[in-house]
Structure 1
Amino acid sequence: MPIQSPLTGNALVHGHRIATGVHGPADGTPVVLIHGTPSHSVIWRNVVPRLVEAGLRVHLFDLLGFGASERPLAADTSVAAQEALLGALLHHWGLSDAILIAHDIGGAVGLRAAVHTPERVRGLMLVDSVSYDSWPSETWRAIIRDHFDSYTAMAEPDFHAMLTRQLQMTVHDPETMTGEVLDAYLQPLSGPMGKVSFFHHQVRHYDSRYTEALTPALSGIRVPVHILWGADDRWQPVSYAHELERDIPGARLETIPDTGHFSPEDAPGAVADAVRAFARRHG
């Protein structure tokens, strides 16, 4: 049976259709899950039910240009634009504030919100987040700088083989990212729009200037911050987590053993436990 998405509907935000999902009791503490790249909300599918069982009100969405959301080629899908999208979605959901659980480039979106609109952020959990100059990798920097057009034109089988290699690096055991799980991550990037969307909506916006610009502001963050990291993350080494813990006042770091960059995929129970505990402290 194909893996089911946790998304349940759509919202019109800034003229674009955004795929969304809301789960849990209406009076539960509001939690917003923000995915990263190369991903979409499927990464949260095994976390959401555990949070709902804990009585949390869970909101999630696919970033503009990602997953089941609209993918207009002319749209700005940088993390700065996604920050504005997040603010509009909070308004759409009727949330004055929420706890943000932000993974990978979603972490950059969450950090920007904590710096620019702290009154909307009840708490921020950074999950294997990009930060400082941690992204993109040297390989992706070279592709963006020197080979963007040729990679965008690569044959479909070669593109899927490349994505498969990339995705299997995100988990502790590559066998985790096979079969229906792998298919669920690849599905939005398949077909005539998939490859073009990946390079134009995701890769072309891999740019550390968005996080490096935040570095001087980290010491001024006053919202509660919890840092959750896969101990075996090969994409965002845990050394960056220690830097964030040092630079953000009151931040606490928790690592998950035997877990890679996609910690919600590798260890959904541990991620859900951390979110529940964080929500109890700051809900």
Structure 2
Amino acid sequence: MLALHGWGRNHRDLLACTAGTDAIAVDLPGFGSSPAPAVAGGAASYADAVEPLLAQCAPRVVVMGHSFGGRVCVELAVRHPDTVAGLVLCGVPLLRRSDRPTARPALRYRLARALHRRGLLGDGTMERMRQQFGSADYRTATGVMRDVLTAVVNETYELQLRQVSQPTELVWGRLDETVPVEIAERAAQILADARLTVLDDVGHFAPMEAPDALASALRRRLDELA
């Protein structure tokens, strides 16, 4: 089994829910002990980075992903339907939120960005604008990782979900405000073979808040390989 963590996190998030399984949990590029990628890219670029590891695993592998890591898992499942035997996804922003249509940045920020590109606004002032208007993840990201974040937040995976043929476990916290349950419900309608488990009193970080529930979903998928 291959387990991939979320944005700004590391492989330790997944240790409790993968305990007792033949699992590899890795630090994705730019997180934990892994160096940042040389160039910015979205989930597909991260799948490129993980593919060599997937090739070294067993002939059939269950992949699990939390949040951003789940996006990478979906990319791997589409590319390698004969190797990826099943998916376990938790709190993954697979689709855009219906209650938050895509919005343009604030006019003040867009003007500042245009002036900065023309050399009419200094780097320090531009960074202060980023800190004021950017998300918490954007404010803490630096260098190429900020460019990676900009790429991934604009991605949606409806096309990839339609191509996933593997049985998929969707395990979601009912209190997840980052990626609400409605995302999982819509994804379940698109996927060919999906099972949704909603966990009461659990938020976005279900792998740490409810590791037993994730472990049960993993065992169901691993049992299919036995």
Whether TM-score is above 0.5 comes out as yes
In the aligned structure 1, how far is the partner of 2:181 from the partner of 2:166? Answer: 22
Residue correspondences, number: 208
2:84 is aligned with 1:112: no
Contact kept? 1:34, 1:101, Cα under 8 Å: yes
> Cα distance, 1:105 vs. partner?
1.4
In structure 2, what is the equivalent of residue 98 of structure 1?
Answer: 61
Change (3 A) 1:276 1:221: same
Task: Say which of 48, 51, 62 aligns to 2:18.
Answer: 48
2:1 is aligned with 1:37: no
In structure 2, what is the equivalent of residue 207 of structure 1?
Answer: 153
Q: In structure 1, list runs of 5 or more residues that go unmatched.
A: 1-30, 167-188
> Cα distance, 1:243 vs. partner?
0.7
Task: Say which of 169, 174, 198 aligns to 1:255.
Answer: 198
In structure 2, what is the equivalent of residue 78 of structure 1?
Answer: 42
> Cα distance, 1:64 vs. partner?
0.9
Amino acid at match of 1:272: A
In the aligned structure 2, how far is the partner of 1:152 from the partner of 1:84? Answer: 33
**Residue identity (%):** 23
Secondary structure, counterpart of 1:118 in structure 2: coil
2:31 is aligned with 1:66: yes
| Greater than 6 Å deviation, 4+ residue runs | 137-141
Amino acid at match of 1:125: V
In structure 2, what is the equivalent of residue 230 of structure 1?
Answer: 173
Contact kept? 1:259, 1:266, Cα under 8 Å: yes
In the aligned structure 2, how far is the partner of 1:66 from the partner of 1:41? Answer: 9
Contact kept? 2:36, 2:144, Cα under 8 Å: no
> Cα distance, 1:120 vs. partner?
1.9
Query: What CA RMSD, in Å, does the superposition of the two structures yield over aligned residues?
Result: 3.2
Question: 1:1-283, aligned counterparts within 5 Å?
Answer: 31-49=1-19, 52=20, 56-72=21-37, 74-91=38-55, 93-134=56-97, 142=105, 146=110, 149-150=126-127, 195-196=141-142, 199-200=145-146, 202-209=148-155, 212=156, 214-283=157-226
In the aligned structure 2, how far is the partner of 1:203 from the partner of 1:240? Answer: 20
Change (3 A) 1:152 1:200: farther
Amino acid at match of 2:221: F
> Cα distance, 1:62 vs. partner?
0.9
Could you state the TM-score of these two structures normalised by the residue count of structure 1?
Answer: 0.63
Amino acid at match of 2:181: V
> Cα distance, 1:218 vs. partner?
2.8
> Cα distance, 1:274 vs. partner?
2.1
Amino acid at match of 1:80: A
